[in-house]
Structure 1
Amino acid sequence: MSSPTASTFTSIPILDYALTTHPTTKPLFLSDLRHALLHVGFFYLVNAPIAPAVRDQLIRHTTALFALPLEKKLEIEMVNSKHFLGYSRLGAETTARVVDYREQFDFATELPPPPPDAPLYRNIRGPNQWPDESSLPGFRHTIESYLDELSPIAASFQTLVAEALGLPSTALCRFFEIPTQQKLKLIKYPPPPPPSSSSSSSSSSSSSSQGVGAHKDSEFLTFLLQPTPHAGLEVQNKSGEWIPAPPLPGRDSLVVNIGRAFEAITQGVCPATTHRVNLAPENFVSSTGEGLGARFSIPVFQGMSLDLRADEMRLEIPGEVRGEVQLGERVRSDAEGTFDKVFRGRVGEGTLVHRVMSHQDVGRRWYPDLLQWALGEYEK
């Protein structure tokens, strides 16, 4: 494959998971993975061993969940959970202090709440809020089945990433908790409203075109299923250009990307890449001019140990790997970098700040002091 520099990539590489299953083809996969990690931060993953029946049932249950009456969704509203799990109504989440035009549900690996004397950030882990089984029979089983399918694939990347970077296969194991939490979002992006003809429409139009604003994920890796054919996901290269990452036509695929915690343990050798969801009207119309309806998106975030300290978040990357990247290069990123310094503390501290800023209603109820501090930091 070609190896464009990080600042000039114009497409998202495609990696074939099937290559990992045979010793003669695995080196090719590791080479492609290394390029994606060092120079892009994103890649498509095809032929991941997820049972089609499980994936299809997840998609059916996702659309059915959003079709429930509002009062049923509000029974599991996220503001009732200090663990940031549950339902967020349209416009409840913000990125870079601009409202995201999306509706979503958050679920995760089912875990007990932390003990009362645990650090505040341990509340990121905890039990789910599940919808009423009578309203959506089998929903919990569907979510847990999909996570059961995806979890071994995500776990395999702890080994694959290490080998791609020229490290021992177990080099990343110490960065993860057992069990490793997988956090899943079910997201609905409605078609944006038509722009108003009034002179004050520009602000409203700008907000409604932001499905999710420019940002970097905070975890290790994200595994995204795009179950509808919409364009809209865009990745920013180091020249500041936005590169489309639509679903691959005719192929089952996941989009995988690096998070800030991964970037931190590699000291920037593997950079988290800025991305956004653009709700331009043309992204809701097919090539034949037919309306596509709402866009759905299903990311799963692979979490690292929340207790990792700054002095523990370090991999000794081999010199030949470090030599392939220019660490001093400035990135023209539209993602705010206000909280990069938080990742010099514990992973959980940075992740909790990210959550309270994204879900400020939850922050106001459960973490008011932290939210006030974080808003003040943003203004500096």
Structure 2
Amino acid sequence: MENQKQNRAEAPVKVSTLNCIDLSNPDIHQSVSLLKQACLDCGFFYVVNHGISQELMDEVFAQSKNFFHLPLNEKMKVLRNEKHRGYTPVHDELLDPDNQVHGDYKEGYYIGVEVPEDDPEAEKPLCGPNVWPADGVLPGWRQTMEKFHHEALEVGKVVARVIALALDLEVDFFDKAEILGKPFAILRLLYYGGQISDPSKGIYGAGAHSDFGFITLLATDDVMGLQICKDKDAKPQIWEYVAPIKGAFIVNLGDMLERWSNCIFKSTLHRVLGNGQERYSIAYFVEPSHDCLVECLPTCKSEKNPPKFPPIGFRTYLKQRYEDTHAKLSAYNKHLT
């Protein structure tokens, strides 16, 4: 039995070297070149000098910690609804069912674009009002999160322009009304509560997965935990840590951009391993409008390289991906009553 365990043990994990894009660099050609190389190589890169102040970043982390340190019964008052807004408890999400014994050992909190309940847009999947902790419980919490949500979206749009140039599109290709003009953008606070992960036993902070959508901006604290696998088809898979850089965003490409680019740019497997320390991160998912039709980009197809995927409506695609990975809300009925 001991031998079997040793066979399943993973090779020592090194720290990955990723390209770093300086968004304040006036030489756009250099930024495009670095980004293109990163997207072809591993689908992960850093962005710095993105315009969000360190003070606001620090405040979001502080407010996130304030929420996750509340008693569980207080957090369950803002349990996520059917629109995926609000709190997600430990094990709510199962990202790698083939290798995980339980769901992810993390807690989360979803905050989307605010859509009033009486707005016709609120009838669309995953659209509607956000769920907020009572102001008396966490003063200033909502204001901090709304400010960060707004500023992170602007960073996402700047990164999207560099991606457009890297794909030989017009710089404002993704700015169109049906793409990022009315985006579906989700801020997700994440908390790993000190669990020690053990891949040989199927225990992970977050199971191996690639993100669903367009691009993800990730801010982390200084606790190591995020790992990437540059070649998802390799056997055995080789995992590398991504080092946190204070004030930077780690950016990765989602499955939808892989589909959009006809697999020229790849989404990348990643996971989180807990080492016994508390760890906080802030993920910001930049997605197109609900009405966007995702079909092969004009610069990514040719006679020799025809589209590999049929067109698909973004709302159909995203709703299915959320349903595939999250627990049914009925699982919490007992706790809530």
TM-score bin (small chain)? 0.7 to 0.9
What's the TM-score once normalised by structure 2's chain length? 0.82
CA distance in 1: counterparts of 2:271 and 2:118, whole angstroms: 33
What's the TM-score once normalised by structure 1's chain length? 0.74
Q: Find the residue that maps to 1:234 and give its secondary structure.
A: strand
- Any residues of structure 2 matched to 1:141-152 within 5 Å, and which? 141-152=143-154
Partner of 2:191: 188
Offset, 1:319? 8.1
Offset, 1:83? 0.7
Counterpart check, 1:308 vs 2:292: yes
CA contact (8 A) 1:17 1:48 kept: yes
Q: Find the residue that maps to 1:83 and give its secondary structure.
A: coil
CA distance in 1: counterparts of 2:137 and 2:319, whole angstroms: 32
Offset, 1:344? 5.0
Partner of 1:296: 280
- Any residues of structure 2 matched to 1:16-95 within 5 Å, and which? 16-19=22-25, 22=26, 25-78=27-80, 81-95=81-95
CA contact (8 A) 2:262 2:301 kept: no
- Any residues of structure 2 matched to 1:144-163 within 5 Å, and which? 144-163=146-165
Per-residue CA deviation, residues 161-195 of structure 1 (Å, 9 max, x unaligned), is 11122221122234515332320111111122698
Counterpart check, 1:246 vs 2:243: yes
Distance 1:305 1:313, change over 3 A: farther
CA distance in 2: counterparts of 1:149 and 1:353, whole angstroms: 28
Partner of 2:140: 138
Partner of 1:260: 255
Q: Find the residue that maps to 1:135 and give its secondary structure.
A: coil
Partner of 1:278: 273
Partner of 1:235: 228
CA distance in 1: counterparts of 2:16 and 2:62, whole angstroms: 33
Offset, 1:67? 1.2
Distance 1:317 1:138, change over 3 A: same
Q: Find the residue that maps to 2:108 and give its secondary structure.
A: strand
- Any residues of structure 2 matched to 1:334-373 within 5 Å, and which? 345-362=312-329
Q: Which runs of 5+ in 1 are unaligned?
A: 1-8, 196-201, 285-292, 328-339, 366-380
Q: Which ranges of 4 or more aligned residues in structure 1 deviate by more than 4 Å?
A: 113-116
Amino acid at match of 2:19: P
CA contact (8 A) 2:182 2:288 kept: no
CA contact (8 A) 1:106 1:183 kept: yes
CA distance in 2: counterparts of 1:215 and 1:363, whole angstroms: 25
Distance 1:210 1:234, change over 3 A: same
Q: Which runs of 5+ in 2 are unaligned?
A: 1-14, 333-337
Partner of 1:4: none
Partner of 1:210: 204
Report how many aligned residue pairs link the two structures: 309
Identity %: 24
